[in-house]
Structure 1
Amino acid sequence: MRIREAVAADVPAIVALLADDGLGRGREAPGDPAYARAFAAMQAMPGNVYLVAERDGALIGCLQVTLIPGLSRRGLTRAQIEGVRVAAAARGQRVGEALMQAAIGRAREAGCGLVQLTTDLRRADAHRFYERLGFEATHQGMKLSL
């Protein structure tokens, strides 16, 4: 398995991973050109990268990590992790752990003092996974759809 930065040609496979569960099926629309535009915008923004796990030429996992400079906590830069997905056939093989460790390593190298993520309340298995990696549920997240 290899962890690398995603390229534009990976976008369809990433979207397929994002759509490959009960929650994602209702949110994602594979084939929509909006994904290519979003990926281009991400690439143009420093500190914003999609990482993918690849095995035998197939993408088996992905996540987005974004560096966020801030004023709170004495000017702390934090890393935000989003969209963590592992292909159903690759779960239990430490793919997610390798992706998370790569993202955390990038955050450390960039001088971040905090790594944060959001996870849907309905994803109990994901919560156990993040806790096993040392994450703590310290805040309640809220969203406003626009």
Structure 2
Amino acid sequence: MIDHKDLKVRRAGIGDLPRLLELLADDTLGKNREAVGSSEACYVEAFNAIDGDVNQYLLVCELAGRVIAMLQLTFIPGLSRRGALRANIEAVRVDSGMRGQGIGSWVMRQAVLLARERNCSLVQLTSDKSRTEAHRFYTRLDFVGSHEGFKLRL
């Protein structure tokens, strides 16, 4: 079991990009979507857009200097809820060889702390309907399946 005192969270840097693509592809749904080892400009452009936006935080978790988990936190200003700021979490990934050791829970707690620091009134996320294990994980973290999500591919 990993001692969570050994975990470090930080903002991702461009040098983390190859590892982030590995984590995104280390997933049932992501394995066919991502180009691991790619030098495609689209990934660099996307990283730079995220990194340059004050409302984005690409979070990585390290153990002994190796990135083992990630998520993207987006801060969304809105008029509803009396002008509340909300945080949206997506792309939550933990290295498949490291799962089941509380790393995902620890990383999610760090994201919630960042949301609190920005004075968000709520944290939200969506999860693919096929990810029933992830749904149980989020429920254990006190997230409530309160809404139905919809997407339109363009």
TM normalised by structure 1 equals 0.97
Q: Give the unaligned 5+ runs of structure 1.
A: none
Q: CA deviation at 1:136?
A: 0.4
Aligned to 1:98: 106
Please point out which of 10, 35, 50 is paired with 1:29: 35
Q: Does 1:73 align with 2:81?
A: yes
Q: CA deviation at 1:22?
A: 1.7
Q: Does 1:17 align with 2:23?
A: yes
Amino acid at match of 2:76: I
Q: Give the unaligned 5+ runs of structure 2.
A: 1-6
Q: CA deviation at 1:47?
A: 2.0
Aligned to 2:4: none
Aligned to 2:70: 62
Amino acid at match of 1:131: T
Q: How many residues align?
A: 146
SS at match of 1:34: helix
Q: CA deviation at 1:55?
A: 1.1
Distance in 1 between residues matched to 2:8 and 2:64, nearest whole Å: 9
Structure 1 runs (4+) greater than 6 angstroms displaced: none
CA-to-aligned-CA distance 1:78-131 (integer Å, 9 cap, x gap) = 000000000011101111111111110010110100100010111111101100
Q: What is the root-mean-square deviation of aligned Cα atoms in Å?
A: 0.9
Please point out which of 40, 51, 69 is paired with 1:43: 51
Distance in 2 between residues matched to 1:44 and 1:88, nearest whole Å: 29
Q: Does 1:52 align with 2:64?
A: no
Matched residues, percent identical? 49
